[in-house]
Copies of this chain bind each other. A is one copy, B any other.
Amino acid sequence: MPRVKCPKCGKVETILKSGFVRGVQRYYCKECIYHFTLIKKGRYRSSSFDNKRQTTIIDIAKAVGVSASTVSRALKNHEDIGSRTKALVKQAAIELDYQPNLLAQSLNRRETHVIGVVVPDIENPFFASVLSGIQHTASASGYKVMIYQSNESHKTEAANIQTIMNNWIDGLLICHSKETQTFEHLKLQMKKGIPIVHFDRICEETATSKVLLDNVTGAKQIVTHLLNEGCRRIAVIAGPKHLYITKKRIEGYESAFKNANIELNERWIAYTDFTKSSIHDAIDNWLMEEIKPEAIFCISDNSAILTMMYLKHLKLKIPEDICVAGFGNDYTGRIIEPALTTYDPHAFKVGETATKLFFDQVILGDKFEIKTVTIAGELIVRSSSLKRSYNPSDEEA
């Protein structure tokens, strides 16, 4: 056995072994009751982390010969710091290519400058536009955008919200999935006090700011337009009954009729699930009857496209035999023939507004009162509804 000296008393004869810990022999001195090991391992973090190391405030401090706090203050022009020191610090910061560690900042300040966004599906053009609006607005104010998709699944949505909230975001912008009908998963997180803004498919049960499409007005404008074109029997391809947009757009539809003092028949409203087959079924049902619709108002552009394709398949002429209108102003509506009359909800602006509402809440803090903003869109009249004045050559090249 090697002669081991006690680091305290220096004696050798009092030393005993004391087992292994993580593979290294330990000793202890009977007299001092002092435990110790011989091998001194390397430092806290040895090698692999070093190359990732960025210049820190401390590096600057050393370079300039001041303390770290002085550097911190100098960089943000704190009045306590002398102009000479400020200049030196800033100079060094540039020379050393200093970039503040936002993580450390966030940890300290308890804010991340990250906005979490949950949308059902990024590939949906509407949401893509909203997202674009969010990203632009956020970026302009130095905020970052973290995205999640629920894939129209309630379960995924709940999971997303859970993880997103654990990431110390400063705010959450959300559009619920079609499936979502209960909102406990959201209410649970609201206790943390993080600003939440709903858009499009909102939740009416929570005290959150909301950004809405002008569903009622939009639908009303479209239907009024159809009425003006002379259509009286206007059918509706609606979505699932529980959906917010379904309710609202139907409301606009009814409002238009009421406004025009025209009777409305429940028979003309078909609640579908937006699938091709459910839409075809609805159309088949209407066409089987004696009295057929003169126009079909589809609650979404996508279903309008499906409707038009099916009608064309049935050799019906649009708009001569039947008019069609959609809602959303997807790019496709411009492409299909005849071009689709629709309502542009100004999706980009929806995202923009949602982000701004979030900013308001951040700035005003407790003084902020939640509000609901409705984004005015615009009616886009194209050939698919121009029964009276249809002229194929109107189509733009």
Contacts and interface: CB of A to CB of B under 8 A. Distances in A.
A136 interface: yes
Interface string A48-82: 01011010000000000000000000000000000
Contacts of A165: 99
A349 interface: no
A193 B147 contact: no
B135 A128 contact: no
Interface string A283-319: 0000000000000000000000100011011000000
A121 interface: yes
B125 A123 contact: yes
A10 B309 CA distance: 94
A260 interface: no
A149 interface: yes
Interface in A101-157: 101-104, 106-107, 110, 112, 114, 121-123, 125, 128-129, 131-132, 135-136, 139, 142, 144-149
Contacts of A280: 397
A167 interface: yes
A146 B146 contact: yes
Contact of A110 (B49, B110, B193): B49
A158 to B, nearest CB: 14
Given A128-B122, A166-B102, A332-B331, A135 B110 contact: no
A165 B145 CA distance: 14
Contacts of A125: 123, 125, 128
Interface residues of A, number: 55
A182 to B, nearest CB: 20
Given A168-B101, A305-B335, A52 B131 contact: no
Contact of A128 (B49, B106, B123, B166): B123
Interface string A76-103: 0000000000000000000000011111
19 contacts: A49-B110, A99-B165, A99-B166, A101-B107, A102-B167, A107-B107, A122-B132, A123-B129, A125-B128, A132-B149, A139-B148, A139-B160, A144-B146, A145-B146, A305-B335, A310-B397, A312-B397, A331-B332, A332-B335
Interface of A: 49, 51-52, 54, 99-104, 106-107, 110, 112, 114, 121-123, 125, 128-129, 131-132, 135-136, 139, 142, 144-149, 160, 163, 165-168, 192-193, 280, 305, 309-310, 312-313, 331-332, 335-337, 395-397
Given A123-B132, A125-B125, A305-B335, 17 more contacts: A54-B192, A102-B167, A102-B168, A103-B103, A121-B132, A123-B125, A125-B128, A139-B148, A139-B160, A145-B147, A280-B397, A309-B396, A310-B397, A312-B397, A331-B332, A332-B332, A332-B335
